[in-house]
Structure 1
Amino acid sequence: MHLITQIHKTLLPHAVFDLHFSPRDQSQFAIATSAASVSLYRLEYSSPKAPSSIVHLTTIPVHEDPSIPALYLSWLPPPPLLAGDKRVKHSHGRDHSPSQLSTDGFAVSFSDGRVSIFHTNPPSHDFSKESMTEIVLPGEPIEVWFTTFHYGRSLSGEEHLTLFSGDDFGGLRVHEFAGDGDEGSRMLWDDGQFTAQTMEVTVGRKHYGAGVTAILPLFTEGGETVLLTGSYDEYLRVYKFTGRGSVLAEERLGGGVWRLKIIREVEDEILALEWPSRTGRSRSYLVLASCMHAGGRIVRVTCSLGSEGDAPRVGSWSIETLAQFTEHESMNYASDIWRGREEGETQGDPLLCVSSSFYDKRVCIWKAKV
């Protein structure tokens, strides 16, 4: 029997559209609000595993018009792991440097089509409107529902930062941050730590029947980035971005795919092919999807590679629904997986899931055997 117990409550004068914990400090989180602001908070702990209260740190106005809601927030990820750095695991297993000298900040999207990046200026890491630098990335005059950063590897082997965003017109917009000298770009950072420029590319509108509401980068190989995308049109898609974009696989999940979250990733499994003398490999992802009026879904996304040595980008992709939860009576906008382990639990035990719905104000705990 699993129960949810309220430990602390903070009353706010506005709605909260999004919440994310910092990748640098797991006790700190930020919210995007309906009052065109981003507020930072910290969890205070009475013991190492028992948070006892929420402490407000600061509130940053992020739009000159306070009536424009901030819809989504994504933290700037730490830089890739450098030689000699202590390893820190972040999104589905990637190593990043924990260096506190690197630029910190976040991107935030708005209902008027704007995406803004707010970043600190090392050695100062003060989060305030006065001390942070704002970069405005204008877009179409429509809601931008999602934005996310991703570190990828170019053909030359260099790590580069990309910002993806999805709007209500079904557009997938990409800002690539590269080195000096890229034509058609402009300076983003020049603080002695991270010099970058941004080039805007708009792709994907012809591939979506409605707004793009979720973007989950999986990996970048040879200059090609593979993403999972969700849309109001009820489809989960495997999408390859190479400058123009193409759909590698798609599956209708029965409701608008509002949010996606990787549960776990399995790389380089050996496959037996039809020919006895040959073997292949697969890369698969177990994904939790929040599907609005259809409830929660757990899906497996798999890339099957033709033979040993093939690059991941040339594999065939498939999407399979493994479990669903349909007890919500209104829009399922947020879901997550319990990452802890109770005594005696093993990897093969059912997943413990938490999902919520909007109009009926429900939070549900459920298990899925996958």
Structure 2
Amino acid sequence: MLIQAKVDSRFLGTIQNSFYGMPDIPGPVRMFLTLLACGVALLIVCYLIRVYGLVPILFSYLKAQKKMLFSQLVKSKESVAGPSKLKIKSAGPWKASTDQDVLERLVLTRAQIDILGERSEQRTLAAVANVSGTESVDVVVSFDDVVTPSLLKSGVKVKCIFSDMLKDNKKINAFVGKVKSYSEDKGAVITRTSSFGYIRRRVFARRKVADQRYIKIKIWRLEGDDYDIDYILDNSAPEIIIDNRQNISENLKNPHVIDISKGGIAIYGKVQTGGSLISRSDKILLCMLIYMPKRKTFEPHLIYAEVRAARSAGNGMSRLSIQFLRSLKIPPRKRSTLFKGQTVMAMNLANPGNSR
């Protein structure tokens, strides 16, 4: 043990002497190295902020913490005063003083915007995007979902709608612009051609169907723009049929119409055996009968349309959102035979007591 202690003391002494042998760093050199280290650290932080967008992340984190603290405060007040005595006002739209404030808000929050174009004389969703930057009057966006690429070509006029804000005590949520450049992978640059204003998100009001017996639907998937209406109606089986003879409940077990407007229709449907699967952006031929109570007949409609959204709803059902593009002429001989027994169905609706 004594020998081991002597070895350890000699070893430690050697290390200590080696440190004592290092020269002291002069004060100016030490200051220079300190400033250099701080500068390098600052450059690394700026690089990380620019590449990974840490400011929006930090902002979102602080906002979430604020909401959490506020909710805890509300709960503590409710426990003392009771929920009936505590009234909380909603924050409402964010307020801006200038256009620059609006732009900074859009960039800071990476706001989601709907980019809309014109097709068949009606607004059509081109893409869903997030604002990633601004340059003068240009707004830079990255795509979350490209729906209609043909409406994003360079020079095309678009309308961009975002969450509501307040400016000069007026509600704003949109601007009009032109596509300056477009890349499905990298995003787009949109040049603003107007000041900020307000645009209604929906042009046409949606309406629920009061009685599912009042509307009948047949859908054929089209392979292209070259199609023969007479051949399809006479020889092709539809992919989807909605023909409820009873006023069924609206659930996922029964095909039915969700809502309808002048611009489109939303349905729950099931592809028939042997039919083709219908996906987003598919062009379709839509045959529709709508019962007119005053005339006591079914009014037939034949429409060239496009599927704007399609997703599985379980139980073999799909939820389809369909945009009407243009009306088609119905062959005269088919007006009363689009659906089997449609004349009898109209008589039963007109005289419910006589129906079996």
TM range (shorter): under 0.3
Question: Which structure is higher in RCO with an 8 Å CA cutoff and minimum separation 6?
Answer: 2
Q: TM-score, normalised by structure 1?
A: 0.23
Q: TM-score, normalised by structure 2?
A: 0.23
Q: Between Structure 1 and Structure 2, whose CA radius of gyration is higher?
A: 2
More helix by share: 2
More strand by share: 1
